[in-house]
Chains A and B, each alone.
Chain A
Amino acid sequence: MELRKIAFGRPVKLLTLLLSSMIIGTASAAVYYTLVMEPRVTVTALTVKFVNGGDTPAGSTVNDAWCRLLLKSYPNATLTYDQAVNISNTDASNAHSIQLRHVSITPDGTAYVGGNFTSIKFYLLDHTGTQQTTFIYTNNGTHWSPPSDTGYYSIPANKEWIIKVETLSSPGATVNTVCDIEIAVDVQE
C-alpha cells in the first residue's frame, strides 16, 4: 500500500512528467535546429549587375554577372572610355557595397608585352560622376604592377555607378599586341 502511494504520489508523477518534458523539449529543439541548419539554395535574379555603359566598346559582351570588354590602346595617346561599363544596384530599398579585386593579368614578365603598354587605369565613379576610387595597372617595361583591392564602396538603392577606363601605350608600341586582364567585382549583399 505504501509502495503504491509512493509510486503514484505527486512528486513521482511530477518527476516523471518533468523528465518526459525535458526529452520531448530537447528532441523538438534538435529537430528545429536541423531545419534551421539545413541549407537551401534558391535561384534569384542578381540585384547588383553589369549593364552597358555609354562607351561600351563594340564587340564587348555585357551580361548580368560578367562582362568582357574589348578595349583599345593607342601609342603615346591616352584613350578614355567615359562609361566603359556600368554597375547597377537594382535593389529598390537596400544599398550594396562593391569592391574591385585583381585576379590576373596575362601575359606578364615578357618585355615584348611590357614594353608596349604604359598603364591601364580603371576609375569607379558614382551616379553623380564623382570619382570614388581608382584601380591602376602600370608596367615597368617587363612586369605589370597589379593594384591592391579597392575596399568596399556602397552603391545606394536603385543607382548605377560607372567604370571609366583609360589606356595608354608606349610611343613605339607594336600594333595588335594584346594583354588580358581579369578583374573581380565583389558584392556584399
Chain B
Amino acid sequence: MRAEEVSSELLPEFFALLATNLFLMLSLLTCLLDDRLPKAIPYMYQIAALMGYAHLLISREFTLAFGEYMRFWYCFIYLLVALANIVAVNIYFAVVKKQWDLAKVWSGTVTFPTIMVSMFFVSNYGYTSGAAFPLLFLQIGPVVSAIVMGISIWIFLSPDILRNFRKEVRRWN
C-alpha cells in the first residue's frame, strides 16, 4: 500500500515572524513621528525586532526539544508584546500627548488592522492545529476590531455625529 500526501500548515514561528515585522513597522513609523516621541524609541524597536530574529533562530535549533505547544505560546507571547507596544503608542498619543487626531489616525490605520490580522492568523492556526487555547476569546477579537473599525468609518464619513455627541456630553457636565 502506497500513500501520497500533500499538506501545508502554519507553523507557530509564523507569529514570531509577524511580530518581528510589526516591530520593524513600528520602528519606521516612530522614526517618522520622532518629534512627538522619545528619540530612542525607533532604535529600541529595531532591537526588539532583532530579538525576534534571534528568537526564530533559537526556535529552529530547538524545534524538537520544545514541542509545538510550547513553541506556540512563546511565539504568541512575543506577538502580544508587539501588539501591546502598538496599543501603548496609541495611548501615549491620546493620553500623554493629548493629540487626539493623531491617536485616531493611528488606531484606524495601525492598531486595529494589526490586531485584526493577528487575530485572524491566530484563530486560523487554532482551527487547523486544534491548539488548546481559548478559541472564544480569539474569535471575539476580530469581531470587536471589526465593530470598532465600522464605527470609526461611520464617524469618519459623518463627522457631525461626533460633534453632536461632544455637545451632548458637555451639556450633561
Contact = CB atoms under 8 A, between A and B. Distances in A.
Contacts of B21: 25, 28
Contact of A28 (B31, B42, B52): B52
B17 A32 contact: yes
A18 B60 CA distance: 26
Interface in A34-77: 34-36, 38, 46, 48-50, 64-66
Interface of B: 1-5, 11, 13-14, 16-17, 20-21, 24, 27-28, 31-32, 34, 42-43, 46, 49-50, 52-53, 56-57, 59-60, 63
A24 B59 CA distance: 16
Contacts of A35: 11, 13, 56, 59-60, 63
B44 to A, nearest CB: 12
Contact of B56 (A31, A48, A49): A31
B4 A186 contact: yes
B24 A24 contact: yes
A17 B3 contact: no
| Majority secondary structure, A binding face | helix
A34 B60 CA distance: 8
A20 B1 CA distance: 52
- Tell me whether chain B's interface is mostly helix, strand or loop, or mixed: helix
Interface in A1-47: 10, 13-14, 17-18, 20-21, 24-25, 27-29, 31-32, 34-36, 38, 46
Contacts of B60: 31, 34-35, 38
Given A24-B50, A35-B59, 10 more contacts: A17-B27, A21-B24, A28-B53, A28-B56, A64-B1, A65-B1, A66-B1, A184-B1, A186-B2, A188-B4
B3 to A, nearest CB: 5
Contact of A189 (B5, B17, B34, B56): B5
A21 B16 CA distance: 15
Contacts of B14: 32
B17 A28 contact: yes
Contacts of B17: 28-29, 32
A79 interface: no
Contact of B46 (A24, A31, A184): A24
11 contacts: A10-B31, A13-B34, A14-B28, A24-B20, A24-B50, A31-B60, A35-B59, A38-B60, A48-B1, A186-B4, A189-B5
Contacts of B13: 32, 35
A34 B13 CA distance: 11
A20 B50 CA distance: 10
Contact of A17 (B5, B16, B31): B31
Interface string A168-189: 0000000000000000111111
